Amino acid sequence: MTLPRVRLFLLGGTITMTAASNSTSGVVPSVDADALCRAVPGLDQVAEIDARTEQMTASGSLTFQHGFDLAAEIIKADNSGDADGFVIVQGTDTLEEMAFMLDCLLDIKKPVVVTGAMRNPTQISADGPANILAAVTCAATNSVGLAGVVVVLNDDIHSARFVTKTHSGNVDTFQSPETGPVGRVVEGSVRIFSIPVTGPKLTIPRGRDMPKIALITASLGDDGYLLGLLENSDCQGLVIEAFGAGHLPEKYLDVLDGMTKKIPVILSSRVAAGHIFRETYGFQGSEIDLINRGLIPSGILKGPKARILLTILVMSGASREQIKNTFEVWDL
Ligand code: DAS
């Protein structure tokens, strides 16, 4: 029997981390892609794996360039027909951002699955092997491609568009607060419950410098100190995680009036789920006031994903109108 061909890219993360030979404190990336796959019983019966160690890093040190390179490699392998599905293995800290970036940049029909682990290989009940088996099972199942890029941990299949990390240590950390999972791996096979709506598809920006895009979060008693520092900086775009449905302190307003004339300012929310409102509140600093002042509502996208989208758009040379229209798609 011919098995599906799955290409697995390893970027690092807890799933690879064991005690460093020269240190007594803490685990660090050390297990490469081949060793990771060898540690998963039965993997060779699910797919023919082409395992590649691309990086060995904690996911907080991954960059946009890593995402662009990965997207380019996947597009190339898709075009040449060299693989039937793809798995990206990385740390969970930035997993939702990398998965979302890939979902924005990839317009392919084959499954693209991102996974990682919450417990390192030296811990009892390390979840890495089960997550790799489930991720490869999904990558080897054609129908998963219909869901766009998915995140698979703990046997749940989440759309990259809706998933977020919700807990610092629990293996059930990845959740989609708006929608729930799109499917699940049950007794070794894939069940898909729903196909998520598609977000805007963008091309990989090439040959342009990485723009400086800031992300700040509003909090009680904030006098706009940090925002003031950004006003006179060379930042080229700003995402603000506002209160609730899109509200900011009055003390932000003068500075924002200046900034919205110069750069795109995205209005997102610091809460876990829900839309940015557009037409409910009318006080100074409300969503109606802020949108009138030129802020662009992010729909349901929270700060980190909104920053991914804004960075790619600015880097691609998108106009203010194009940026606004693209974020509008996320006002689902
Ligand atoms: N938080 C760790 C992980 O879950 C480290 C990282 O993100 O690389 O993998």
DSSP 156-183: EEEETTT-EE--SS-TT-EE-TTT--SE
Q: Please tell me if the CB atom of residue 55 comes closer than 6 angstroms to any atom of ligand 1.
A: no
Nearest CA among 39, 21, 38, 43 for reference residue 30:
21
Which residues are 189's β-sheet partners?
A: 186
Query: Rounded to the nearest 5 degrees, what angle is found at the Cα of 47, between the Cα atoms of 121 and 171?
Result: 35
Q: Please tell me if the CB atom of residue 129 comes closer than 6 angstroms to any atom of ligand 1.
A: no
- If you measure from the C-alpha of residue 16 to the centroid of ligand 1, how many angstroms do you get, rounded to a whole number? 9
Helices (H), 111-265: 128-139, 225-231, 253-262
- Return residue ranges of the chain for CATH 3.40.50.40: 213-330
CA atoms within 13 A on the CB side of 216: 19
12 CA: nearest ligand 1 atom: 8
In the three-class reduction of DSSP (H, G, I as helix; E, B as strand; rest coil), residue 62 is classed as: coil
Q: Domain 213-330, what fold?
A: Rossmann fold (3.40.50)
- If you measure from the C-alpha of residue 249 to the centroid of ligand 1, how many angstroms do you get, rounded to a whole number? 34
Q: Which residue from 10, 56, 62, 93 has its CB within 8 A of the most atoms of ligand 1, so it is best to mutate?
A: 93
Q: Please tell me if the CB atom of residue 27 comes closer than 6 angstroms to any atom of ligand 1.
A: no
Q: Please tell me if the CB atom of residue 58 comes closer than 6 angstroms to any atom of ligand 1.
A: yes
Q: Domain 5-192, what fold?
A: Rossmann fold (3.40.50)
To the query of whether residue 260 is one of the catalytic residues in this protein, the response is: no
The predicted structure's pLDDT at residue 206: 86
Q: If the chain, 332 residues long, is cut into consecutive pieces of 10 residues, what is the mean pLDDT of each piece?
A: 96 94 82 97 97 97 97 98 97 98 97 98 96 98 98 98 98 97 98 95 92 98 96 96 98 98 98 97 98 98 98 97 97 92
- What separation, in Å, do the N-terminal and C-terminal C-alpha atoms of the chain show? 43
Tokens of residue 323, six digits:
């940026």
Parallel/antiparallel/unpaired status of strands 27-29 and 17-19:
antiparallel
- If you measure from the C-alpha of residue 117 to the centroid of ligand 1, how many angstroms do you get, rounded to a whole number? 8
Task: Tell the residue nearest (CA) to atom 4 of ligand 1.
Answer: 92
- If you measure from the C-alpha of residue 132 to the centroid of ligand 1, how many angstroms do you get, rounded to a whole number? 15
252 vs 272: CA distance, rounded Å:
23
Q: Please tell me if the CB atom of residue 115 comes closer than 6 angstroms to any atom of ligand 1.
A: no
Nearest CA among 297, 253, 258 for reference residue 277:
297
59 CA: nearest ligand 1 atom: 8
The predicted structure's pLDDT at residue 24: 66
The predicted structure's pLDDT at residue 164: 98
Q: Please tell me if the CB atom of residue 116 comes closer than 6 angstroms to any atom of ligand 1.
A: yes
- Return residue ranges of the chain for CATH 3.40.50.1170: 5-192
Task: Tell the residue nearest (CA) to atom 7 of ligand 1.
Answer: 91
Tokens of residue 274, six digits:
């829900």
**Model pTM?**
0.97
Print burial letters for 291-318: b (CB count within 10 Å at least 16), e (below 16).
bebbbbbbbbbbbbbbbbbbbbbbbbeb
Task: Tell the residue nearest (CA) to atom 1 of ligand 1.
Answer: 93
Q: Give the contacts of 60 (CB within 8 A, at least 6 positions apart).
A: 91, 93, 94
Q: Please tell me if the CB atom of residue 92 comes closer than 6 angstroms to any atom of ligand 1.
A: yes
- Active-site hit among 14, 53, 94, 164: 14
Contact 320, 286 (CB under 8 A): no
